[in-house]
Structure 1
Amino acid sequence: MSLDPLIVERLEDVLAALERIPRRFTGITTPEDFYDSPEGQDRLDAICMVLIAVGEAFKQMDRQTGGSLLARYPGVDWPGVKGVRDVIAHGYFDVDAEEVFSICQNDIPVLMDTVRTMLKDLSDDASL
């Protein structure tokens, strides 16, 4: 699949952003930890900002590739990834800490691995 080099650059940016989430999530052992201290609230805010940016980036990439890029990686709930952006951006003061906690624990590692695979696949395709 031949893609605009900007897609690869955007994927690299997304991966760098996603890799900040585990650091920000360190020490958060329950969803309540996000609300128990100002530091926890700051962490929730920071994680939500990354989720908004990542969701928007994938929305744009999906449009730019006519849906073909994300379709190659069905192991990720792409509508969910893109939808989280909308939920947080449009209902910021109603963010569900339990959902963000679950995303950090369960979805972010899979998403990071998938983005790494995407970058490798695109690199391999470019070398053909």
Structure 2
Amino acid sequence: MFDAELIRSSLTKIQTALDRILKRSETILTPDDFLMTSSGVERLESICMLLIAIGESVKRIDNATNKTLLPQYPEIDWKGRI
């Protein structure tokens, strides 16, 4: 049996992080927008940290489901070995 509360909490955190990424990248039109100002670099760093948090949440969900979640999506390179 899976820990439904842990999974629900992780999914909520993922949704919150995705919402923040969308909000923080609204004004970004080109990759250079991240690099041309210090606030752009800070925004990039912030988004990277959120992506890392999403990855950790996905791992937590996979562990909570006894590693049965990620194998259901073999088209995704979960290990980053492209």
Question: Same fold by TM (over 0.5)?
Answer: yes
CA drift at 1:38:
1.3
User: Are the structure 2 counterparts of residues 58 and 30 from structure 1 closer, same or farther at C-alpha, using a change threshold of 3 Å?
Assistant: same
**TM value normalised by structure 1:** 0.54
**Runs of at least 4 residues off by over 4 Å:** none
5+ long unaligned stretches in structure 1: 84-128
Percent identity over the alignment?
A: 39
Over residues 24-49 of structure 1, what are the superposed CA-to-partner deviations in whole Å (9 max), with x where a residue is unaligned?
Answer: 11111111111001121111011011
CA drift at 1:75:
8.3
Q: Which amino acid aligns with 2:2?
A: L
Higher helix share: 1
User: Are the structure 2 counterparts of residues 78 and 55 from structure 1 closer, same or farther at C-alpha, using a change threshold of 3 Å?
Assistant: farther
5+ long unaligned stretches in structure 2: none
Report the number of matched residues. Answer: 79
| RMSD between superposed Cα atoms in Å | 2.1
What residue in structure 2 maps to residue 3 of structure 1? 2
